[in-house]
Amino acid sequence: MKAVLCVSIFTLCIAMWLIAGQPRTVSAQNSTAGSESCLSGYSYPPGLIPSGVCEGMSRVLREIDAVEAATLKQAKALPINAGTRLKQIRTLGKLLLYDKNYSVERNTACVSCHTTETGFTGPLSELNQTTVSYPAAVRYRFASRKPKSYAYAPFLAVLHLDPGSKQLYGGNFWDQRAGGWKLQNPSSQQAQEPPVDALEMGLPDSACVVYRLSKAPYLFLFEDVWGIDIAAIRFPADIETTCSTPTQGPPDPDFAGNVPLDALSRSLVRTVYDQFGMSIAANEAGPDVSPFTSKFDYAITHPDQQILTADELRGWELFDGKGKCNLCHLDSLTAFQSGEPSISTRQVPETEPLFTDGASFNLGLPKNDDIPYLYEDKPDKYGVTPNPQGPSYTDGGLGDFLRNAPGTGQINPQNRWMKLASENEGKFETATTRDVDKRPYPSFVKAYFHNGVIKDLKTVVHFYNTRDVLPRCSKGEDDPGFGKTCWPPPEVPQNVEQRIGNLGLSDQEEDLIVDFMKTLTDGYSATSPDQ
């Protein structure tokens, strides 16, 4: 299995290297020829969609198919007994993640936007550099945000309100909307949304997921794990047609969509779909996705050895001290808002730090005008209008979810939280810094923050350091001085976090913090430290 994956990963890296090297051209939305004909549907500004995207996505899907085939072979050879139950559910979850059949066009898997080689975020360097968001199963529909890594997410708390700070903690997605209210695991709830999201996998009803699962070659494993007979569900005769039509799905994955079912069948569908989500979360919590195998992890579990370099240790001190990173990206040590802590691997308790507090903040990020979602303001041929507001759209983040703004994908399950919408306007969940630099090759571009407006770790740290020091850019994010001599104004001016923006870090100190964050990349080997 390892050999298959290594070959698969190597091939994917070569494919994405070829894509990244291609020049930008006028979007195929404005032409009738070219490889981007798969994206035809909306009139995007010229040059917004880079060339090579369709071929790049096809190559990634071929790699996904190879992993799925290898995993299916494993599943069929897996002994079914009490001693393999954990392996069973994790294998099942992986098969569900890699199966394209849970998309309306059978062309998009959950992992299409969350690949291993990139730390479970976007797999195409050229898209990360430009559009940030990725094409949906209906290829001309783009989501509104960058794909958020789901690595380590299963360990986040159920969304809850801290009574003292009045801060909401936990949940999944950038806006915390997958709170885990029902299944008591946010990742289980998160896994249920993309299949029925018109801007992702695009099925019109969770019943379509269950129907296609009933035809899966690994149905035997699902039924062994969960002890349920999907054949008891009475699907309508036209289920294939309904599930192949990318109309608007339900406003919440827990709601019924466009498939008419009797009460018993609908109840069974809801049960199976909950099990679908829990199976995926089981895989995401396992070593395939959340292995805790970074250089940092090795260092804190081998405190008698000198694993981290002097620069990495100094970067860690700055991370916890002057840089204030540890105020939100928690490493289990005390965060210092002034002065410098004395850092040692011996100080980290016997725990596995998640490097996130699971809370949301408005960092004052500028708007990213290159996200295609801004231009999807007309109904498509299926009656779906992703963004009625057009280019004037402002992403309210957690505030939008709390007030049940249209199109957020989940319904706020706690009415009393609605009054908190205004004070949470523009806030987004703290992403883990684990695997923040994981990439298939050195020049591969990753996008950072919810809107991907920043493209490298050095600029990320520089933003935290100088947001309130540098003048405003006169040309927004297209200003040649962006991130160097100026910053654009925040997209959402209210609730901007004031603990950052003027940290007083030197250029060298910014670099040292980046050096430390690179130690959080999984796959470290003490015998091959550059691996």
Q: Is it the case that residue 260 has pLDDT exceeding 70?
A: yes
| Residue 348 pLDDT level (bands cut at 50, 70, 90) | confident
Q: What is the pLDDT of residues 367-404, one digit of tens each?
A: 999 999 999 999 999 999 999 999 999 999 999 999 99
Q: Is 199 left (phi over 0), alpha (psi -120 to 50) or beta?
A: alpha
Quick count: other Cβ atoms within 10 Å of Cβ 494? 12
Domains, the chain, ordered by start:
2-284 (1.10.760.10)
Range 107-125 average pLDDT: 97
Asked if 181 contacts 312 with a C-beta cutoff of 8 angstroms, the reply is no
pTM (2 d.p.)? 0.90
Q: What does the pLDDT read at residue 279?
A: 98
DSSP H or E run through 104: none
Q: How far apart are CA 192 and CA 213, in angstroms?
A: 14
Q: Is it the case that residue 334 has pLDDT exceeding 70?
A: no
Strand, helix or coil at 178? strand
- Pick the more confident residue, 56 or 350: 56
Asked if 335 contacts 307 with a C-beta cutoff of 8 angstroms, the reply is no
Q: What is the pLDDT of residues 14-25, one digit of tens each?
A: 343 333 333 333
- The share of the chain scoring above pLDDT 90, in percent, equals 84
Q: Is it the case that residue 4 has pLDDT exceeding 60?
A: no
Q: If you average pLDDT over every residue of the chain, what do you get? A: 91
- Pick the more confident residue, 132 or 14: 132
Range 471-482 average pLDDT: 92
Q: How far apart are CA 370 and CA 461, in angstroms?
A: 22
Q: How far apart are CA 122 and CA 146, in angstroms?
A: 8
DSSP string for 427-474: BEEPPP-TTTT--SSTT----BSTT--B-SHHHHHHHHHHTTTSPBPT
Q: What is the pLDDT of residues 25-74, one digit of tens each?
A: 333 333 323 336 678 788 899 889 998 898 999 999 999 999 999 999 99
